Amino acid sequence: MGFSPLSLSQSISFILFLFHFHSTISSSHFCALDQSLSLLQFKESFSIRSSASDHCQHPKTESWKEGTDCCSWDGVTCDMKTGHVTGLDLACSMLYGTLHPNSTLFSLHHLQQLDLSDNDFNSSHISSRFGQFSNLTLLNLNYSVFAGQVPSEISHLSKLVSLDLSDNNLQLSLEPISFDKLVRNLTKHRELDLSSVDMSLLVPDSLMNLSSSLSSLKLNDCGLQRKLPSSMGKFKHLQYLDLGGNDFTGSIPYDFEQLTELVSLGLSSNNYLSLEPISFHKIVQNLTKLRELDLSSVNMSLVSQDFFNSLTNLSSSFSSLFLSNCGLQGKFPGNIFLLPKLESLDLSSNEGLTGSFPSSNLSNVLSRLSLSNTRISVYLENDLIRNLKSLEYMLLRNCNIIRSDLALLGNLTQLIYLDFSSNNLNGEIPSSFRNLVHLYYLKLDSNKFMGHIPDFLGSLSNLESLSLYDNLFNGTIPSSLFALPSLYYLDLHNNNLIGNISEFQHDSLTYLDLSNNHLHGPISSSIFKQENLRVLILASNSKLTGEISSSICKLRFLRVLDLSSNSFSGSTPLCLGNFSNMLSVLHLGMNNLQGTIPSTFSKDNSLEYLNLNGNEFEGKILSSIINYAMLEVLDLGNNKIEDTFPYFLETLPKLQILVLKSNKLQGFVKGPTTHNSFSKLQILDISDNDFSGSLPSGYFNSLEAMMASDQNMIYMNASNYSSYVYSIEMTWKGVEIEFPKIQSTIRILDLSNNNFNGEIPKVIAKLKALQLLNLSHNSLTGHIQSSLGNLTNLESLDLSSNLLTGRIPTQLGGITFLAILNLSHNQLKGRIPCGEQFNTFTATSFEGNLGLCGFQVLKECYGDEAPSLLPSSFDEGDGSTLFEDAFGWKAVTMGYGCGFVFGVATGYIMFRTNKPSWFFRMIEDIRNHKSKKTKKNAGRFGDRRN
């Protein structure tokens, strides 16, 4: 990560500037009546609305009044002679609503310049009528929430000089045919920005039809694939080229050397693109006007040293170099500061970079520096500080900071962005930080800072984002923070903070995480007044009390609500199921909430994670819950739900985790009733209920996710809010544990503590990916199937406390990862197999089976008991008397029979812990708790974003 380069659109801004200039000088002329009417009707068709994170404050249409000269209105430009409206600049005017094809906008035929950027047209389609503005030279629909296909009629705008359809939430797409028409007709084109328009069907070579007079081409994040066109050199006038964020492959063609006018080149985040020596030399030698180069995430491992050696060939006006995550190796290139105008340097995430950052002879104008995630040493000393006086951005996350007198940073008074996270820093935040008055972003998380959060942070009045999580801060949260006018991101989780949360009051926060501290009291109702709040996490403070007020329903932009592991009580507000259709995570687990489960589940929702575990919820699970079509995790365990098995859940197409344990569910579990039932389910836990009848073998046939292992080791997270990592409650060796992170590879089936009877169905052996199988505490009868030995991924198998009979199949010994086996309290008999995995289990695995013998239970096997190291032909424990008789003598002579094997295996046992490896793999921060009310959950956010 790092900062992204300044936008490449300087020249567009220049045009806008001229445009604006023009609009002021022409304002004294009379406007044609029809034009005036059209404008007023246009104004009427939209409302004015500040969107959640809006920086636009000035609705230009406010000055539009009937009876006044429309040529004098804000944003309107007229032809001096005719009074026709020729320019409309409504950029950043807070317009909200649909732009219909019948809009009176399209009566303004004489428009030459139209700028509707930075408004919210609510996913309107771009009408084909835009093609009727035949004299249009500038069209700007940047960042204005348009959606759908870009109409091919845009190609009629043959006079267009500048077209910008960029940044419409990835909702626009452009078909190859439309693109071809567009590029053939727009011969006057100088500037084209289609960034984040989906053009994935386009063949890159069709870019070659673009006008060679282009001076700026931005196609960032357009889904372009395959190789870069090999003759880009034709665009000889290009000054700005940005093809970043696509999926280009291969190497950068060397005819880029012909783009001699290039000032800015961006090819970042094309993860399969590489730079090879031949292209590289040409680029460095021939692009003599280059000032900005962004090759972040392009593979440069072949040119690393060459590159550093030839830095001095770059133009002396070179200003910005972004080479984050390029596979660069070697020592920090000290000669880089021979470039006298270097302002921005990003070498972050090149773990192979070493050496030290120089403390003197730096560029005087260096204002942005990122060395995060490298091994470059930075000597924080007077010299360095004196030479970095112009620094505005300083990103030194997770690098090698030496002589860390942090107080020196207080001298860098120009700083607006400071990231020193993950550096093992300790002590208090230096008081010199009070001088950093321009700071808007301060990130000191994941260190060992202690003491109080200083009050003076509240005087850094520009502060917008403050991350102090994962430290050792104690004391109360200074109230001055809540007076910061622009603060929108506050993350203080995982500290030792105390105080009463009801005192918090803030108007602009969109992100608040105070989880895992020692805060107490009810939630201040003022938190719920912040319409802009997107993320609210107050989990694991244990002493947060009171009811969850229905005013929470005003938070209609909320995406994550996590109030888990506290002492909230009362019933939940009725709106909880549908107050925000953006809500992705709702975690109210581990509280004292009562009443019925929220039941108003609206169809139009984004919920992926619903956790109500560990409350006192009663009643039934309503089938309308299947409106949550995105649901991946449903945890209703440890409540008082009285119902039968909720079959309808099987239709939730994305459900991966279903936990209904410890409720009062009863009846048979038969099924499935539909096709693909529960096919994505990885964890099914219905333990500790009153289910009866035979095991649900019908479902075993359709649990496809449990049949195949997942190789992709990631933590399961919300796809609508990827930094929220899922957690769940599980029983591990009889103890309730919160798993704060869940590996996507995990597969668990827990049907224990019910009244299931009958035999263990053979089909269970299909669930080959299972790691944990628990059928204990039921009334299962019959033999243990030898086919259970096919479950080769099992790490824990619990069949205890049933009525199982017969012998233990030796095949179980072949389950290499099996670390926990519990067959106790059944009616098993015969010799406990030895060898392989069996030698690692102790008596507790087998106790309560009077008929078992073997060294594990310290009971000798006599004549009628089978020896153990035999082939598995008596696997079902029956029909094997032949072998028993034939080999019985051997068992007698050898006593416990497995002694030798046991001795050999001892070394192996010593190395094993009694916990299966997945247990460690899956859990980073595990906390056991006797009382479920004091559970903590830590580190649920992986990568925190702003």
Ligand X SMILES: *[C@@H]1O[C@H](CO)[C@@H](O)[C@H](O)[C@H]1NC(C)=O
Q: Which is nearer to ligand X, 210 or 590 (CB)?
A: 210
Among 175, 257, 306, 616, binds ligand X (CB under 6 A): 257
Among 61, 119, 216, 258, binds ligand X (CB under 6 A): 258
Among 197, 193, 140, 139, smallest CA distance to 168 is for 197
Among 248, 256, 255, 293, smallest CA distance to 274 is for 248
Q: Which is nearer to ligand X, 129 or 341 (CB)?
A: 129
Under 8 Å CB-to-CB from 794, ≥6 apart: which residues?
770, 771, 772, 773, 815, 817, 818
Q: Which is nearer to ligand X, 154 or 794 (CB)?
A: 154
**Stretches 113-121, 168-176, 257-265, 800-808: which one binds ligand X (CB under 6 A)?**
257-265
- Smallest gap from Cβ 129 to ligand X, in A, equals 12
Q: Which is nearer to ligand X, 45 or 329 (CB)?
A: 45
Residue 414 in the binding site for ligand X (CB under 6 A)? no
What's the 3-state SS for 135-178?
A: CCCEEECCCCCEEEECCHHHHHCCCCCEEECCCCCCCEECCHHH
What's the 3-state SS for 753-799?
A: CCEEEECCCHHHHHCCCCCEEECCCCEECCECCHHHHHCCCCCEEEC
Cα separation, 482 vs 817, in Å, equals 52
Beta-strand ranges (E) seen in 349-447 are: 352-354, 368-370, 377-379, 393-395, 400-402, 417-419, 426-427, 441-443
Among 58, 65, 109, 448, binds ligand X (CB under 6 A): 109
Q: Which is nearer to ligand X, 134 or 301 (CB)?
A: 134
Q: Which helix (H) or strand (E) holds 114?
A: strand 113-115
Q: Which is nearer to ligand X, 50 or 135 (CB)?
A: 135
Q: Which is nearer to ligand X, 129 or 620 (CB)?
A: 129
Cα separation, 556 vs 604, in Å, equals 13
- CA terminus-to-terminus distance, the chain: 13
For ligand X, the binding residues in 855-874 under the rule CB under 6 A are none
Residue 102 in the binding site for ligand X (CB under 6 A)? yes
Ramachandran region, residue 511 (left: φ > 0; alpha: ψ -120 to 50; beta: rest):
beta
Among 81, 67, 88, smallest CA distance to 29 is for 81
Residue 312 in the binding site for ligand X (CB under 6 A)? no
- Smallest gap from Cβ 435 to ligand X, in A, equals 8
Query: Are β-strands 417-419 and 393-395 bridged in parallel, bridged antiparallel, or unpaired?
Result: parallel
Among 208, 338, 385, 582, binds ligand X (CB under 6 A): 385
Distance of CA 99 to the CA centre of its chain: 33
- Smallest gap from Cβ 261 to ligand X, in A, equals 11
- Smallest gap from Cβ 380 to ligand X, in A, equals 10
> At 598, is the secondary structure helix, strand, or coil?
coil
Provide the residue count of the chain: 946
- Smallest gap from Cβ 362 to ligand X, in A, equals 13
For ligand X, the binding residues in 776-815 under the rule CB under 6 A are none
For ligand X, the binding residues in 179-198 under the rule CB under 6 A are 181, 185
Query: Are β-strands 441-443 and 543-545 bridged in parallel, bridged antiparallel, or unpaired?
Result: unpaired
Site map (CB under 6 A) of ligand X, residues 152-181, x = contact? ---xx-x----------------------x
Residue 390 in the binding site for ligand X (CB under 6 A)? no
- Smallest gap from Cβ 263 to ligand X, in A, equals 16
Q: Which helix (H) or strand (E) holds 511?
A: strand 511-513
Residue 285 in the binding site for ligand X (CB under 6 A)? yes
Q: Which is nearer to ligand X, 288 or 474 (CB)?
A: 288
Q: Which is nearer to ligand X, 310 or 692 (CB)?
A: 310
- Smallest gap from Cβ 293 to ligand X, in A, equals 17
Among 10, 382, 496, 674, binds ligand X (CB under 6 A): 382
**Stretches 256-264, 541-549, 606-614, 728-736: which one binds ligand X (CB under 6 A)?**
256-264
Question: How many helices (H) does the chain have, and how many strands (E)?
Answer: 10, 62
Cα separation, 35 vs 88, in Å, equals 12
The residue assigned the tokens 């607006």 is 416
Task: Compute the radius of gyration of the chain from its Cα atoms.
Answer: 34
Among 11, 26, 128, 411, binds ligand X (CB under 6 A): 411
Q: Which is nearer to ligand X, 109 or 733 (CB)?
A: 109
- Smallest gap from Cβ 382 to ligand X, in A, equals 4
**Stretches 381-389, 541-549, 639-647, 861-869: which one binds ligand X (CB under 6 A)?**
381-389
Residue 100 in the binding site for ligand X (CB under 6 A)? yes
Q: Which is nearer to ligand X, 136 or 898 (CB)?
A: 136
- Smallest gap from Cβ 111 to ligand X, in A, equals 8
For ligand X, the binding residues in 122-151 under the rule CB under 6 A are 134-135
Residue 209 in the binding site for ligand X (CB under 6 A)? no
**Stretches 16-24, 329-337, 379-387, 699-707: which one binds ligand X (CB under 6 A)?**
379-387
- Smallest gap from Cβ 181 to ligand X, in A, equals 4
Measured from the Cβ of residue 711, the count of other Cβ atoms closer than 10 Å reads 7
Q: Residue 260: what residue type?
A: T
Cα separation, 780 vs 765, in Å, equals 16
Among 51, 200, 249, 286, binds ligand X (CB under 6 A): 286
Q: Which is nearer to ligand X, 158 or 225 (CB)?
A: 158
Residue 302 in the binding site for ligand X (CB under 6 A)? no
Residue 107 in the binding site for ligand X (CB under 6 A)? no
Task: List the structure tokens of 846.
Answer: 């087998």
Query: Are β-strands 735-739 and 748-750 bridged in parallel, bridged antiparallel, or unpaired?
Result: unpaired
Residues 538-569: b if buried by 16+ CB within 10 A, e if exposed: bbbbbebbbebbeebbbbebbbbbbbbbbbbe
**Stretches 255-263, 524-532, 819-827, 854-862: which one binds ligand X (CB under 6 A)?**
255-263
- Smallest gap from Cβ 605 to ligand X, in A, equals 26
Among 739, 715, 728, 723, smallest CA distance to 559 is for 723
Q: Which is nearer to ligand X, 185 or 354 (CB)?
A: 185
Q: Which is nearer to ligand X, 155 or 800 (CB)?
A: 155
How many residues in the shown chain lie near ligand X by CB under 6 A? 20
- Smallest gap from Cβ 117 to ligand X, in A, equals 23
Peptide bond into 672 cis (omega under 30): yes
Among 315, 303, 304, smallest CA distance to 265 is for 315
- Smallest gap from Cβ 257 to ligand X, in A, equals 5
Q: Which is nearer to ligand X, 54 or 405 (CB)?
A: 405
Task: List the structure tokens of 174.
Answer: 């452009």
**Stretches 252-260, 468-476, 485-493, 661-669: which one binds ligand X (CB under 6 A)?**
252-260
Q: Across the chain, which distance is largest between two alpha carbons, in Å?
A: 118
Q: Residue 450: what residue type?
A: M
Residue 431 in the binding site for ligand X (CB under 6 A)? no
- Smallest gap from Cβ 286 to ligand X, in A, equals 4
Q: Which is nearer to ligand X, 132 or 872 (CB)?
A: 132
Q: Which is nearer to ligand X, 288 or 462 (CB)?
A: 288
CB 463 within 8 A of CB 484: yes
Residues that bind ligand X (CB under 6 A): 100, 102, 109-110, 134-135, 155-156, 158, 181, 185, 257-258, 260, 285-286, 382, 385-386, 411
